[in-house]
Amino acid sequence: MTNGNADPDGGKSAKGTLASSVYHQLREDLLRGALEAESKLRVEWVVSRYGAGASPVREALNRLAAEGLLGRHDQRGFFLMPVSAAELEELTRTRCWLEERALRESIAHRTAEWEEQLVLALHRLARAERRLPDDPATNNPEWEKLHRAFHRTLIAACGSHWLIGFCDQLSDQASRYRLISQRGPGSGRDDLAEHRTIAERTLDGDADGAVEALLSHYRLTAAMCIERFNQGYDPHAGAGKTTRGRK
């Protein structure tokens, strides 16, 4: 792990290496659930899609695999990690354990500055539209970013960059599930109210209440994903060809 984590050089692919650029782009696509066609991810395909040589691509793939977003078999290349209801369940359970601890610590060590950041994060999230009018079937990437930022801020004061990194990693995995299964019409869920409750209780220093709200939030999300899983849906949705066109 990363670092347990994600983004050693800042986020942009601005001035970085080609390897980092491919890493960021591919990572985005993975979280967005844009791939997932078949499980194999051929180097050559990535090369032609992101315009880089084999070496940088390979480095990017190695990083993603170490992070758990891809799998790897020596001599047999890389593949997209499969998704399953069981895995999502385990993931959610783990996430609840870690985030509970992180939130409690954050609340215990809260500072005025952190509280302000939290207020800001909530405000920004409230302003964003979850779904854009022009494409009501997909989540608004901007909302996704702010949502991510909100949850990250919640635990930012926990005092452990390791724990934050682990939570990020689980959050990435959860994103993948959420965005894969949430394609289609939105649910009637009132996200904003949930986030507001979490933030309010946190700011009140009500650790038990905040934790309860946060875990319910995660569990509900997971339950909805599993729901859709079981309702059967086409797991093959994005791009990403696997074998050459069959003859």
Residues lying near its own copies in the complex (CB under 8 A): 1-6, 8-9, 15-17, 19-20, 55, 58-59, 62-63, 65-68, 71-75, 90-91, 93-94, 97-98, 101, 159-163, 165-166, 169-170
Hey, how many other C-beta atoms are within 10 angstroms of the C-beta on 126? Answer: 14
Min dist. Cβ of residue 9 to DNA (A): 10
Q: Contact between 84 and DNA (CB under 7 A)?
A: no
CB 242 within 8 A of CB 37: yes
Dist. CA 150–CA 243, nearest whole Å: 40
Rounded to a whole number, what is the largest CA-CA distance in the chain? 64
CB-based burial of residue 212 (10 Å sphere; 0-12 exposed, 13-18 middle, 19+ buried)? Answer: middle
Among DNA, its own copies, none, what does residue 78 contact (CB within 5–8 Å per kind)? Answer: DNA
Helix or strand or coil: residue 48?
A: helix
Residues 2-31 within binding reach of DNA (CB under 7 A): 15, 17-19, 21
**Considering the complex, what minimum distance in angstroms separates the CB of residue 22 from DNA?**
8
Q: Write down the least CB distance from residue 167 to its own copies, Å.
A: 10
HSE at residue 210, side-chain half, CA atoms within 13 A, is 23
* Residue 90 binding: pick among its own copies, DNA, none (C-beta 5-8 Å cut-off by kind): its own copies
User: What mask, x for binding DNA by CB under 7 A, covers residues 54 to 83?
Assistant: xxx-xx------------xxxxxxx-----
Cβ atoms of 1 and 67 closer than 8 Å: yes
Q: Which residue ranges make up the site for DNA (CB under 7 A)?
A: 15, 17-19, 21, 40-44, 52-56, 58-59, 72-78, 243-244
